[in-house]
């Protein structure tokens, strides 16, 4: 009897406890945005005077009529403001710190990495980026990002690299096989790139590596079709047969296949491999150089990309972010103080922090700053012209900044997503097309349209409240009033990097 009475009390206590837990969970107050102009890519035109109800992190209603919210709802006066979906950047690397050498683990690098890790997700949010797709980070980098309290929703691809190929060419072989153990062995390269001692070829086939990436929970696979930068053109590639096996294995798992390729010959290989997305724009076509527009061979390739409906990330900031190494005012840009942690910004200005700038200069034969910038700006103009040509064909573009594309301090989280959009505008892309690239095109391409990309009932409440209309001015993206992340309202300035 005693026992059962005690257990009866325990049961009642447990029930009471459960009820209070449920009540406290339900306590997340409703959020209502009154009388706001909704700007959303599925609409033909902005819709003024809408009332938006958000509950438990999702949009519940968008209506011209009053919405029925709980009495204690948080209310935002939306008059004079514009409500958009949060932006998606579909080409980032959250595990890499701009300006730090790959794999650096000395005490200074470690403390800079820590400061960066804390600020990085806040910097993306500061520029309205609420969804990210990481194309190739090590698990530690992903885990460090996911451990931050305020962060965009993160999705990822897994990298399938060929033995000794890009990007592992930048890492010392003894470190390489530890950092990137999941390489694909290419028998066609056996003479120049033999299997490392002790490795088992059966563990490095396309099928085994793609199985492993699929099991890791990635939603896509990124391959690298790159035979060298600048003077180099001897980096190993996958053979046609291996590429076909990679394609078949990704299809078997229902994974999208993305390709790093930015030169015309490399992009041709990507198209022949039937990749789903080109993870870079086309800016490397010196052999066809022309002062304006795109030459016939480039135009034919871009028409093929359009006809085959291959996703295209212009990543215009890749080359611009290298040019910025040589721009004397880069580190004095007021936006840097908002997105770069103070100790990292100070380090960039030191001789140690300029290592990649000097390395890049050496690779160009020791040229002065202005000549280096000129070299990059020529390549950059090719990329911009190719993007405009594709846009004029009616091809939907994908917003991807490739932050950071290289160990350059010229590429910074959030700010580069914004600057990518600005460069698209400078290329002649219409603002509504840029808006779609940042929202609906990205979420559709990567299978996230059930949850993101529009302001509609049922979607995750990752939203931006702007003080200008983004279909009319790029200034809208630098005058964000509030960021709404899964229904939680964040004031923009609270996301800026702390100044010490
Ligand atoms: Zn990249």
String of DSSP letters for 423-463? HHHHTT--HHHHHHHHTHHHHHHTT-TTTSSS--TTSB--E
Of the three residues 418, 445, 472, the one that is the final residue of a domain is 445
The CA 279 to ligand 1 mean position distance, Å, reads: 7
The CA 221 to ligand 1 mean position distance, Å, reads: 13
In this structure, are strands 87-92 and 129-134 parallel, antiparallel, or unpaired?
A: parallel
- pLDDT interval class at 11 (50, 70, 90): low
Q: Which residues contact 398 (CB under 8 A, 6 or more apart)?
A: 90, 277, 311, 312, 313, 437, 441, 442, 445
The CA 70 to ligand 1 mean position distance, Å, reads: 45
The CA 366 to ligand 1 mean position distance, Å, reads: 26
Give the pLDDT of residue 4: 44
The CA 8 to ligand 1 mean position distance, Å, reads: 60
The CA 114 to ligand 1 mean position distance, Å, reads: 21
| Total of domains in the chain | 2
The CA 189 to ligand 1 mean position distance, Å, reads: 25
Q: Is 18 within a domain?
A: no
Contact call for residues 341 and 115 (beta carbons, < 8 A): yes
Q: Is 3 within a domain?
A: no
On whether both 51 and 155 belong to a single domain, the answer is no
Give the pLDDT of residue 175: 77
Q: What is the pTM of this model?
A: 0.93
On whether both 65 and 105 belong to a single domain, the answer is no
Give the pLDDT of residue 6: 45
Rounded Cα–Cα distance for residues 382 and 251 (Å)? 33
Rounded Cα–Cα distance for residues 107 and 276 (Å)? 41
The CA 358 to ligand 1 mean position distance, Å, reads: 22
pLDDT in tens, 326-383: 999 999 999 999 999 999 999 999 999 999 999 999 999 999 999 999 999 999 999 9
Rounded Cα–Cα distance for residues 488 and 482 (Å)? 10
On whether both 473 and 324 belong to a single domain, the answer is no
The CA 63 to ligand 1 mean position distance, Å, reads: 40
Of the three residues 405, 423, 445, the one that is the final residue of a domain is 445
- pLDDT interval class at 8 (50, 70, 90): low
The CA 263 to ligand 1 mean position distance, Å, reads: 15
Rounded Cα–Cα distance for residues 321 and 406 (Å)? 9
The CA 401 to ligand 1 mean position distance, Å, reads: 8
The CA 312 to ligand 1 mean position distance, Å, reads: 13
On whether both 280 and 188 belong to a single domain, the answer is yes
SS3 category, 240: helix
Contact call for residues 62 and 367 (beta carbons, < 8 A): no
Q: Which residues contact 158 (CB under 8 A, 6 or more apart)?
A: 136, 182, 212, 213, 216, 218, 220, 221, 222
SS3 category, 485: strand
Distances (CA, A) of 273 to 208, 225, 266, 397, 428: 19, 11, 11, 20, 30
CATH number at residue 409: 3.20.20.140
CATH number at residue 63: 2.30.40.10
Mean pLDDT throughout 201-228?
96
Q: Which residues contact 500 (CB under 8 A, 6 or more apart)?
A: 342, 343
Give the pLDDT of residue 285: 87
Distances (CA, A) of 438 to 417, 433, 445: 9, 9, 11
The CA 379 to ligand 1 mean position distance, Å, reads: 17
- Return mean pLDDT, the chain: 93
Give the pLDDT of residue 5: 45
Mean pLDDT throughout 254-283?
97
The CA 135 to ligand 1 mean position distance, Å, reads: 6
Give the count of beta carbons closer than 10 Å to the beta carbon of residue 227.
16
Q: Is 5 within a domain?
A: no
Tokens of 60: 């519940």
The CA 300 to ligand 1 mean position distance, Å, reads: 25
pLDDT in tens, 443-494: 999 999 999 999 999 999 999 999 999 999 999 999 999 999 999 999 999 9
The CA 18 to ligand 1 mean position distance, Å, reads: 46
Give the pLDDT of residue 374: 94
pLDDT above 90 coverage of the chain, percent: 85
The CA 139 to ligand 1 mean position distance, Å, reads: 16
Rounded Cα–Cα distance for residues 397 and 117 (Å)? 29
The CA 156 to ligand 1 mean position distance, Å, reads: 12
The CA 405 to ligand 1 mean position distance, Å, reads: 5
On whether both 61 and 118 belong to a single domain, the answer is no
SS3 category, 38: strand
Strand partners, 221: 158, 257
Nearest to 451 by CA among 63, 50, 88: 88
Q: Which residues contact 10 (CB under 8 A, 6 or more apart)?
A: none
On whether both 325 and 200 belong to a single domain, the answer is yes
Mean pLDDT throughout 96-104?
92
On whether both 32 and 180 belong to a single domain, the answer is no
On whether both 53 and 156 belong to a single domain, the answer is no
Each as own residue / partner, the long-range contacts of residues 19-24 (CB below 8 Å, 24 or more positions apart, any chain) are: none
On whether both 230 and 98 belong to a single domain, the answer is yes
The CA 371 to ligand 1 mean position distance, Å, reads: 25
Contact call for residues 237 and 225 (beta carbons, < 8 A): yes
Of the three residues 404, 425, 445, the one that is the final residue of a domain is 445
The CA 222 to ligand 1 mean position distance, Å, reads: 9
The CA 74 to ligand 1 mean position distance, Å, reads: 40
Report whether pLDDT(413) > 90. yes
Report whether pLDDT(271) > 90. yes
Q: Which residues contact 352 (CB under 8 A, 6 or more apart)?
A: 108
The CA 368 to ligand 1 mean position distance, Å, reads: 27
Q: Which residues of 88-123 are buried (b: 16+ CB within 10 A; e: fewer)?
A: bbbbbbbbbbbbbebeeeeeebeebbebbbbbbbbb
The CA 402 to ligand 1 mean position distance, Å, reads: 5
Mean pLDDT throughout 36-62?
98
Name the residue range of residue 47's domain: 27-84+456-495
The CA 281 to ligand 1 mean position distance, Å, reads: 11
Q: Which residues contact 93 (CB under 8 A, 6 or more apart)?
A: 134, 135, 136, 137, 141, 402, 403, 404, 405
The CA 42 to ligand 1 mean position distance, Å, reads: 29
Distances (CA, A) of 494 to 83, 149, 153, 488, 497: 20, 13, 19, 13, 8
Distances (CA, A) of 101 to 109, 168, 171: 9, 13, 10
* Sequence-ordered alpha helix ranges (H) in 148-295: 173-179, 206-215, 240-252, 264-272
The CA 303 to ligand 1 mean position distance, Å, reads: 24
On whether both 460 and 320 belong to a single domain, the answer is no
Q: Is 190 within a domain?
A: yes
- pLDDT interval class at 138 (50, 70, 90): confident
The CA 173 to ligand 1 mean position distance, Å, reads: 21
Mean pLDDT throughout 278-296?
89
The CA 157 to ligand 1 mean position distance, Å, reads: 11
The CA 134 to ligand 1 mean position distance, Å, reads: 8
Q: Is 422 within a domain?
A: yes
Q: Is 20 within a domain?
A: no
SS3 category, 94: coil
The CA 92 to ligand 1 mean position distance, Å, reads: 6
On whether both 461 and 441 belong to a single domain, the answer is no
On whether both 382 and 471 belong to a single domain, the answer is no
Report whether pLDDT(17) > 80. no
In this structure, are strands 256-260 and 220-224 parallel, antiparallel, or unpaired?
A: parallel
Q: Is 98 within a domain?
A: yes
Contact call for residues 247 and 277 (beta carbons, < 8 A): no
DSSP characters over 348-379 = HTSTGGGHHHHHHHHHTTS--HHHHHHHHHHH
Give the pLDDT of residue 231: 74
Report whether pLDDT(223) > 90. yes
Strand partners, 482: 465, 491
Q: Is the dihedral of CA 228, 330, 125, 47 positive or negative?
A: negative
Rounded Cα–Cα distance for residues 338 and 360 (Å)? 27
The CA 259 to ligand 1 mean position distance, Å, reads: 10
- pLDDT interval class at 27 (50, 70, 90): low
SS3 category, 273: coil
The CA 91 to ligand 1 mean position distance, Å, reads: 6
Q: Is 289 within a domain?
A: yes
Tell me how many helices (H) and strands (E) the chain has.
Answer: 16, 15
The CA 439 to ligand 1 mean position distance, Å, reads: 19
- pLDDT interval class at 2 (50, 70, 90): very low
């Amino acid at each position: 009897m005693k026992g059962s009475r005690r257990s009866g009390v325990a049961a009642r206590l447990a029930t009471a406890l459960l009820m209070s837990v449920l009540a406290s969970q339900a306590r997340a107050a409703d959020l209502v945005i009154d009388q706001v102009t909704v700007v959303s890519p599925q609409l033909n035109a902005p819709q003024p005077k809408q009332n938006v109800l958000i509950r438990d992190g999702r949009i519940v209603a968008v209506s011209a009529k009053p919405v029925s919210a709980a009495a204690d709802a948080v209310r935002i006066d939306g008059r004079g403001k514009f409500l958009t979906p949060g932006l998606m950047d579909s080409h980032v690397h959250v595990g890499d710190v701009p300006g730090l050498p790959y794999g650096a683990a000395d005490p200074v690098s470690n403390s800079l990495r820590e400061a960066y890790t804390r600020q990085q997700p806040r910097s993306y949010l500061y520029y309205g980026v609420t969804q990210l797709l990481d194309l190739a980070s090590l698990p530690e980098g992903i885990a460090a990002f996911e451990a931050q309290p305020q962060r965009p929703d993160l999705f990822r691809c897994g990298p399938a690299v060929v033995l000794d190929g890009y990007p592992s060419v930048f890492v010392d072989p003894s470190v390489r096989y530890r950092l990137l153990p999941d390489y694909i062995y290419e028998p066609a390269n056996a003479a120049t790139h033999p299997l490392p001692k002790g490795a088992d070829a059966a563990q490095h086939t396309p099928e085994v590596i793609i199985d492993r990436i699929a099991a890791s929970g990635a939603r896509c696979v990124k391959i690298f079709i790159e035979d060298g930068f600048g003077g180099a053109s001897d980096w190993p590639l996958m053979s046609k047969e291996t590429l076909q096996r990679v394609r078949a294995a990704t299809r078997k798992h229902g994974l999208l296949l993305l390709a790093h390729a930015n030169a015309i010959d490399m992009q041709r290989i990507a198209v022949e491999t039937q990749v789903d997305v080109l993870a870079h724009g086309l800016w490397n076509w010196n052999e066809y150089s022309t002062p304006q527009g795109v030459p016939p061979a480039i135009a034919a390739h871009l028409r093929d990309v359009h006809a085959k409906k291959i996703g295209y990330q212009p990543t215009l900031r890749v080359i611009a972010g290298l040019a910025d190494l040589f721009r004397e005012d880069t580190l004095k840009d007021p936006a840097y103080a908002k997105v770069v942690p103070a100790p990292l910004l100070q380090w960039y200005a030191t001789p140690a922090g300029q290592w990649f700038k000097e390395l890049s200069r050496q690779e160009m034969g020791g040229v002065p700053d202005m000549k280096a910038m000129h070299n990059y700006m020529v390549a950059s103009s090719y990329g911009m012209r190719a993007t405009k040509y594709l846009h004029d064909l009616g091809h939907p573009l994908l917003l991807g900044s490739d932050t950071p594309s290289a160990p350059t301090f010229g590429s910074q989280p959030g700010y580069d997503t914004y600057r990518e959009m600005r460069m698209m505008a400078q290329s002649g892309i219409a603002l509504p097309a840029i808006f779609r690239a940042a929202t609906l095109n990205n979420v559709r391409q990567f299978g996230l349209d059930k949850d993101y990309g529009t302001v509609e009932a049922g979607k995750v409440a990752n939203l931006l409240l702007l003080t200008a209309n983004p279909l009319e001015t790029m200034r809208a993206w630098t005058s964000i009033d509030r960021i709404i992340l899964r229904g939680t309202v964040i004031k923009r300035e609270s996301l800026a990097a702390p100044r010490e």
